[in-house]
A and B are shown apart, each in its own frame.
Chain A
Amino acid sequence: MSLNLSLKNISRIKGATLSLLGLVVSFIFLFPYVTMLSTALKPKSAITDIPPSYLPKSYNWNNFIKVFQELPFGMYIRSTVIIALCTMVIGLVVAIPAGYYVARNHFRLRTPFLLLVLITQMFSPTTLLIGIYREMGVMHLINTYLGLILINVSFNLAFSVWILSSFFKTIPVEIEEAAAIDGASRLQTFRKISLPLAVPGIVTTAIFTFIAAWNEYVVAYTLASSPSKQPFSVGLSLLTGYYEVKWNYLFAGSLIAIIPIIILFISIEKYLVSGLTAGSVK
């Protein structure tokens, strides 16, 4: 009896220790974002306090509205949304048929094709930047939405095709065969049967592409020279270069830009790892 009790106590202490440890680790990861929030809520005058206070003395929630007047955040968000949405749509249009084809057919050069897809996932635009810049120059796509969208699409296709084909693979071929026997054409089968069944995979891919395009920095930083074409990642980094930085508004805007992304990311949590490691972790 007493042994039982002490065992229970030990497990309770262990649980509490883990919880405490978990909270401390969580705080380390959240620290920069908590600081952002604290700064975003401070009035302008308190930003340059020396030493700075840990928490704002007054909570200025309306900074989150004023940011749109104080900084060109509306414009940045607009560009970001246009680039991210178009990247997502074009990416899906290309990746869905490609993923389906790869999942269902064993064509010649399938192995080299998958290898190529895997390799392109590893090259970041940073390494290829000069090539990209020259190429975009030839096509007159520097400082255009279209140029940024195309580059974002191409760098996200690898992930999209991989994850979509793995989703299509989980749909039993028998269902499609049954539909074919019932007289459905291949396209009909794809549209009415396979596509609806792959919706979770498509949503995951869509969200992931959207976020990647939303956060993309290097290419936009290089190609988008006019403020009206810059996504917020670029705009933000340029705003911090000014002599007088409006940090409270800057961070209010940044939080507006990252909170929806974090929620989206959490919603696809369980598919993330399998997609990113391209099936190498089982």
Chain B
Amino acid sequence: MVELFFVSFRHVSISGLIKGWAGFDNYRSLMDNSDIGGTLKRTAIWLVVVVAATMALSLPLAQLMNANFRGRRILRYSVIVPWAASLVITATSWKWILDPYYGIMNNVLMDLHIIKAPVDILGDPRTSFMALLVVGVLVSLPFTSYVLLAGLQAIPHDIMEAARVDGAGPWKGYWAIVFPLLKPAFLVAAVINAVYVFNSFPIIWVMTQGGPGYETDTTTTFAYKIAFRDQDIGQSASLAVGNFVVILIFIMLFLKLSKWKELDQQ
């Protein structure tokens, strides 16, 4: 009975979406929308850059979190903060830091002699998307590096010891022994992270609202704009269906990687 209640809950939330499917006109009008091309391109960049950078950085970060040194606890707790804090608040703070007049970032950049005069980072389409990418990576890192940390902790110490005895240097030993063992955790973290990044709404919405114009929109914020600002539910729904399909692909990937079925049988 409990499961029935559970299943029904899900089914209802999705069925509202399916109702919006009628005909292909919505898809056609979506394709005619002049901003869709740029949005799709940006979504792809957003997804690839944020996920790639996050994964590349979370590996050394997880190593550092796993290393033995004084102040490790401070590091672990600091990394948790952006994960726990609401994305809206974090994004608001970044917006304030990047404010062209009162923000601290211009100060820092000028004191470091990187720029000569204050700049409006979020006002310029090129730099604003870059800023979003950086913030996107910073808020993604906690989850991925914690998953990798858990993976690292599960590797028995003897294995690394044995590699050292066999004469593997730290670098070679790492890529030959540790990384292959870490690979399942790495892949799972990457796929789940990709889903989060793809769905990510608050960061872009709070910092730029996809602006200036539609210059920093991804399909997620774009779908929101069409639906709730332009009131074109049908067109937005067709974009949402596209988003839905993308996530489904990620889920299949996840299931393939995680081999959850075998785990379930245990």
* B2-A39 in contact (CB<8A): no
Chain A residues numbered 1-55 whose CB sits less than 8 Å from any CB in chain B: 15, 18-19, 21-23, 25-33, 35-36, 39, 47-52, 54
Contact flags B77-114 to A (C-beta < 8 A → 1, else 0):
11111111111111011111100011110110010000
* B237-A94 in contact (CB<8A): no
Contact flags A270-281 to B (C-beta < 8 A → 1, else 0):
001110111111
CB distance from B39 to the nearest CB of A (A): 15
Residue of B nearest to A132 (CB): B13
Q: Is A173 an interface residue (CB 8 A)?
A: no
* A266-B20 in contact (CB<8A): no
- Sampled A-B contacts (11; CB under 8 Å): A21-B64, A49-B102, A130-B233, A130-B236, A134-B20, A135-B12, A161-B6, A217-B88, A222-B228, A233-B89, A280-B257
Chain A contacts for B154, CB-based, 8 A: 281-282
Most buried by B among A31, A47, A126: A126
Chain A contacts for B250, CB-based, 8 A: 122
Q: Is A101 an interface residue (CB 8 A)?
A: yes
Known: A135-B16, A262-B80, A265-B80. A233 touches B247 (CB 8 A): no
* A29-B79 in contact (CB<8A): yes
Known: A236-B88, A262-B80. A98 touches B3 (CB 8 A): yes
Q: Is B9 an interface residue (CB 8 A)?
A: yes
* A130-B16 in contact (CB<8A): yes
Q: Is B138 an interface residue (CB 8 A)?
A: yes
Known: A130-B16, A135-B13, A254-B92. A211 touches B71 (CB 8 A): no
Chain A contacts for B227, CB-based, 8 A: 129-130, 133
Chain A contacts for B178, CB-based, 8 A: none
Residue of A nearest to B17 (CB): A131
Chain A residues numbered 115-131 whose CB sits less than 8 Å from any CB in chain B: 115-120, 122-124, 126-131
Q: Is B43 an interface residue (CB 8 A)?
A: no
Chain B contacts for A118, CB-based, 8 A: 251, 255, 260
Residue of B nearest to A23 (CB): B71
* B151-A281 in contact (CB<8A): yes
Residue of A nearest to B74 (CB): A26
* A130-B237 in contact (CB<8A): yes
Which of A32, A127, A161 contacts B244, CB < 8 Å?
A127
Known: A111-B264, A130-B233, A279-B263. A272 touches B146 (CB 8 A): yes
Chain B contacts for A190, CB-based, 8 A: none
Residue of B nearest to A221 (CB): B205
Decide if the interface of chain B is mainly helix, strand, loop or mixed. helix
Q: Is B42 an interface residue (CB 8 A)?
A: no
- A-B residue pair count with CB separations less than 8 angstroms: 264
* A32-B150 in contact (CB<8A): no
* B17-A30 in contact (CB<8A): no
Chain B contacts for A214, CB-based, 8 A: 86
* A94-B86 in contact (CB<8A): no
* A217-B13 in contact (CB<8A): no
* B7-A116 in contact (CB<8A): yes
Q: Is A174 an interface residue (CB 8 A)?
A: no
Q: Is A97 an interface residue (CB 8 A)?
A: yes
Known: A18-B69, A218-B202, A261-B85. A52 touches B240 (CB 8 A): no
Q: How large is the interface on A (under 10, 10 to 19, 20 to 34, 35 or more residues)?
A: 35 or more
Chain A positions near chain B (C-beta within 8 angstroms)? 15, 18-19, 21-23, 25-33, 35-36, 39, 47-52, 54, 94, 97-98, 101, 111, 113-120, 122-124, 126-135, 151, 154, 157, 161, 211, 214-215, 217-218, 222, 233-234, 236-237, 240, 247, 250-251, 254, 257-258, 261-262, 264-266, 269, 272-274, 276-282
- Chain B: how many interface residues by the 8 Å CB criterion? 100
Chain A contacts for B69, CB-based, 8 A: 15, 18-19, 22
Chain B residues numbered 230-266 whose CB sits less than 8 Å from any CB in chain A: 233, 236-237, 240, 243-244, 247, 250-251, 254-255, 257-261, 263-264
* B9-A157 in contact (CB<8A): yes
Q: How far is the CA of A13 from the CA of B201 in the complex (A)?
A: 43
3 nearest interchain CB pairs? A131-B16, A131-B17, A280-B258
Known: A97-B2, A233-B89. A30 touches B146 (CB 8 A): no
Chain B contacts for A279, CB-based, 8 A: 260, 263
Contact flags B196-233 to A (C-beta < 8 A → 1, else 0):
10010110011000000000000010011001100001
Residue of B nearest to A107 (CB): B3
CB distance from B197 to the nearest CB of A (A): 11
Q: Is B33 an interface residue (CB 8 A)?
A: no
Most buried by A among B15, B93, B184: B93
Chain B contacts for A111, CB-based, 8 A: 261, 264
Chain B contacts for A269, CB-based, 8 A: 76, 80
Chain B contacts for A117, CB-based, 8 A: 6
Known: A128-B17, A233-B88, A280-B188. A22 touches B101 (CB 8 A): no
Q: How far is the CA of A272 from the CA of B151 in the complex (A)?
A: 13
Q: How far is the CA of A212 from the CA of B185 in the complex (A)?
A: 23
Q: How far is the CA of A26 from the CA of B206 in the complex (A)?
A: 24
Which of A33, A48, A132, A282 contacts B93, CB < 8 Å?
A33
